[in-house]
Structure formats: C-alpha cells, structure tokens
Amino acid sequence: MPIRRTRGVTPRPRATGALRSPLLTLALAGALIGAAILLFVRFAHWADAHPVIAVLLALLALPVLYVLFRAMPRASELRRAARAGMIPPVGEEPAPEPAPTPQVLHIPADAHDGLTAVLPPPAPVFTLPDFTALDPDGFEAAVAALCERDGCREVEVVGGAGDLGADVLATAPDGRRVVVQCKQYGPDHKVGSQDLQRFGGTCWTVHGAQLATVVTTSEFTAPALEYAEACGIRCVDGTALAAWAEGSGAAPWGPAMLDTA
C-alpha cells in the first residue's frame, strides 16, 4: 500500500478585510476634525472683518455640522473597537475559517527515503492439507493447487466420469504438458499394475502427455513400479507427496525426480 505521511500545514494569516471599516471610519473622522479646526481658524480671522456675513454663514453651517456629527461613530464605540483589536461591530463579523486540511503525501511503492525498506508483496500462502482425510474430489483439487504453487500454468481439474485416466491437466514451468492421475487410497490399499496400465493406455495417446505421473496417498506395488519405469510414468507415493507439499522434496517435473523415470 502507498505510505501516507501527514505533514503539518502552516496556518494561513487571518483576513484583514474585516478591519477596514473601523479604520476607514477613524481616518475620516480625523480628517474631518482637522479640516474643521483649520476652517475655524480661517473663519475667525475672516469674521473680524465681516461680522454680519460671518453670523449668517454660522447659522447656515449649524445644520450641516449637526448632520456630520450624527454620522460620526460615537466615542464609546471607537473605544470598544480599539480594545477588541479593531473587531467589527456585530453583524459584520467574518465567517469562521474552516480548519486546515492536512496534506497527504503519497509515495509510490517502489520509492523509499533510504531509511525504510520497501518490502515485496507477500507470496500466496499454501495451507498444507491432510491428504488422507480428503475425499477423492478434494484430493484432486489439492494436487492441482500444488502444481499451481510450484509454477504450473493452465492448471485444470478434469477428474470424474469419463475422464479416461486424467484427473489434473497442467503446463509445467518448462512448457511440457502434464497429465496427473490421483489415487486417494488408504495405507492398506496400494496402487497396482492394473491401475498403471489403464493410465498408460490413455495418458500418451489420448491426453497428449509429455510428462505423466500418478500421485497417491498410499504406496505402489512392485509390478506397478516396474510398469511405470518401462513406460516413463513417474510415481509419487504418500511419502514423496508429503515431501513435495512441505517443500523438502521436488515436484514430479523437478530435477530430483528425473532419475526415477
């Protein structure tokens, strides 16, 4: 699976747009007050020379000054805004920002940082069955699973009525066509020469075998082994089957079986 590493995200600075309204109000108020002082000084000098006109202008300016005074923010509101760090009035508060989303770094499976080893995917696990406790169909399926585990391709279980001696068909790792007959017998029931003869009459001509083998949970009689050696059929008894399944012995197409053909 990809390694996920979560890295912290630097918090973004708070937006300053919410502070513009109080600051703009303060700036306008200061400008108006300064302008009013200058105008008052100039007006005082001018009023000494023109007293009548100055009185009329003062009467006309009173409504204007009253409107401006009403439009200016109150001193208490300005003090509260200053103490709160220029927080805007109620109703103009900005919406809370969502919590930052952690950044997820995806690292490909074939990359590493030099400290962590990248392990290969685990191999399929083969559960070693108790071959003697299986029924004939289960035994054929278990032998087919062994063939697939050890590199065979196109593995197929074909045992049943009319199988003409073939229970498992497969293609060996070296490309040979493998035909397997399975004999799930008890310890007192050995595979005899008649079983080998029936299989030998079909494995080569009917099934086109390039490697024919008989696998049993029991043993082979001496005549059966003689016939198999003469015909090139490989015999796997219960002991050899257990070694094959455990990995201590080779498969029928492995090097360890060549001298028994």
According to the model, what pLDDT value does residue 4 have? Answer: 41
- CA max distance for the chain: 149
User: Element (H or E) spanning 235, and its range?
Assistant: strand 234-236
Give the pLDDT of the chain (261 residues) as one tens digit per residue: 433 434 444 445 454 554 566 677 777 778 888 887 887 777 777 777 777 777 787 787 777 777 766 766 565 665 665 565 555 555 555 566 666 666 555 555 555 555 555 565 555 555 678 898 899 999 999 999 999 999 999 999 997 777 788 999 999 999 999 999 999 999 899 999 999 999 999 999 999 999 999 999 999 999 999 999 999 999 999 999 999 999 899 899 876 443 443
Contacts of 87 (CB under 8 A, 6+ apart): 18, 81, 93
Contacts of 204 (CB under 8 A, 6+ apart): 212
According to the model, what pLDDT value does residue 47 have? Answer: 75
From CA 131, how far away is CA 68, in angstroms rounded?
A: 103
According to the model, what pLDDT value does residue 258 have? Answer: 39
Contacts of 100 (CB under 8 A, 6+ apart): 9, 11, 12
The candidate with the shortest Cα–Cα distance to 55, out of 45, 47, 66, 63, is 47
**Exposed / middle / buried, residue 26 (Cβ in 10 Å: 0-12, 13-18, 19+):** middle
User: Could you tell me whether strands 3-7 and 234-236 are parallel, antiparallel, or unpaired per DSSP bridges?
Assistant: unpaired
Domains along the chain with CATH numbers: 1-122 (no CATH), 131-260 (3.40.1350.10)
Specify the length of the chain in residues: 261
Question: Residue 149: how many CB atoms within 10 A of its CB?
Answer: 17
The candidate with the shortest Cα–Cα distance to 170, out of 149, 147, 150, is 147
First to last CA, the chain: 46
According to the model, what pLDDT value does residue 152 have? Answer: 95
pTM (2 d.p.): 0.51
Instruction: Answer yes or no: are the C-beta atoms of 13 and 113 closer than 8 Å.
Output: no
According to the model, what pLDDT value does residue 259 have? Answer: 40
From CA 241, how far away is CA 146, in angstroms rounded?
A: 10
According to the model, what pLDDT value does residue 142 have? Answer: 94
From CA 195, how far away is CA 167, in angstroms rounded?
A: 13
Instruction: Answer yes or no: are the C-beta atoms of 5 and 107 closer than 8 Å.
Output: yes
* Phi and psi at residue 220, to the nearest 5°: -110, 145
According to the model, what pLDDT value does residue 125 have? Answer: 53
